[in-house]
Amino acid sequence: MALNLDDYVVVSGMAGVHKIVTTRSNGLVVQEIDSGKSKFCSVRKHQFTPLSTVGIYTLTDTIELSIVFETMLNQYDKTPPVAVTAPKHEIEEYFEGLVPEYDEDKVYISDMKKVIKWFNFMKERDLLKPAEEVAESEATD
């Protein structure tokens, strides 16, 4: 069961995760998830990080963010995410529980905090859905 992150993007200079409404040759139209307001973001002013393209370096390969989020969801009841303000060693211990083989030379504490922030943002808004469930709901719309 893979989570579908295809429609979500992080935009530099804008807080949180946004939903992609449409793409243009010179930027993206994104929707604020909480307010529902759409806004054009130019490639000249912003950088875009589609969540579906984010990976975590491991000692042998890269693991997709959707798999990390899925692991976080599965462990949520017994091991909820640590606060991003927690001491460095607590964040590292939590992350090691998610991705035991992560590459300590390439995955920084700031990366771990981003993953936790993005997960919490999406979990609070019930946006973490399996790909099959998303496909079914789009088919019925």
Query: What's residue 129's pLDDT?
Result: 76
Number of domains in the chain: 1
pLDDT value of residue 134: 46
What rounded mean pLDDT belongs to the chain?
91
> Per the domain annotation, does 104 fall within a domain?
yes
Percent above pLDDT 70 for the chain? 91
Residue 69 placed within a domain: yes
Q: What CATH number has the domain bearing residue 81? A: 1.10.10.1650
pLDDT over 90 at 1, yes or no:
no
The pLDDT value given to residue 133:
58
Q: What is the DSSP string of 16-38?
A: SEEEEEEEETTEEEEEETTT--E
The reply to whether 25 falls in a domain is no
Give the global pTM: 0.87
Print the domain residue range for 109.
53-124
* Domain contains 93: yes
* pLDDT tens-digit series, residues 115-128: 999 999 999 999 99
Give a yes or no: residue 114 inside a domain: yes
More confident residue, 131 or 68: 68
**58-63, long-range: CB < 8 A, 24+ apart:** 58/99, 58/101, 58/102, 58/103, 59/101, 59/102, 59/103, 60/101, 63/99
pLDDT of residue 57 exceeding 70: yes
- Asked, for residue 73, whether it belongs to a domain, the answer is yes
Is 7 inside any structural domain?
no
- Which SS3 state, helix, strand or coil, does residue 42 take? strand
User: Mean pLDDT throughout 25-43?
Assistant: 96
Does residue 65 sit within a domain?
yes
Render pLDDT for 128-137 as a digit per residue (tens, 0 to 9): 977 555 445 5
Q: CB–CB of 66/2 below 8 Å?
A: yes
For residue 75, what are the contacts with CB-CB under 8 A and spacing of at least 6? 97, 98
Q: Rounding to the nearest 10 degrees, give the CA dihedral for residues 78, 113, 40, 125.
A: 20
